[in-house]
Amino acid sequence: MRRSAWIFVIAVGAASATAGCAGGSASAQPTVTVTVRTTTTVTATPSPASPTPSLSAAVAKYPSGDAVLPGYPVLVNTSSPDYRPASAIKTDKAVAVAPGVYAAYSPTQTNLEAYLRLPNDGDCAVRAQYFPRVGGTCWNGVPPGSEEPQQ
């Protein structure tokens, strides 16, 4: 950090003066004006040994605390999943958040990891394992859709 300061001092004084009558005097007090200006310059250089962690470097987790399965979440066409969750999703696209489990896709939320915490529909066993206390509907035996990663 580098600091610098400039100080300007202006002193104005008046000498004694005799004002009109003998022996009378008037004196003025000196006036001092001080102006201080400071400037602080801070230069920071990030340490290459400690890079800033990025969101993608973090391990995504399901609400259960388990690491997200490889290849998930993934954007799929609503025609890909089993007819039961597909009928519950009222959009053209869905996000497969786990095998046989889907959330309706919104183009305003393109971060697919955000869907891991949203209500979803799909296989009861998978939802119970990875999505406890998350809203949605489940059916027994919902297989992964055709556009999902093959496990």
> What is the separation of C-alpha 82 from the centre of its chain, rounded to a whole number of angstroms?
35
- Residue 55 domain-assigned (yes or no): no
- Identify whether the C-beta of residue 101 lies closer than 8 Å to the C-beta of residue 121: yes
The residue range of the domain holding 33 is 2-41
The total number of structural domains in the chain stands at 2
Q: Are residues 65 and 128 in the same domain?
A: yes
Is residue 23 in some structural domain?
yes
User: For position 46, what pLDDT does the model report?
Assistant: 45
pLDDT at 98: 98
pLDDT on residue 34: 52
**Spans in the chain with pLDDT lower than 50:** 1-2, 4-21, 40-57
Q: In whole angstroms, give the CA distance from residue 10 to residue 12.
A: 7
The enclosing H or E element of 41 equals strand 31-41
Specify whether 8 is located in the same domain as 68: no
Judgement on whether residues 33 and 72 belong to the same structural domain of the protein:
no
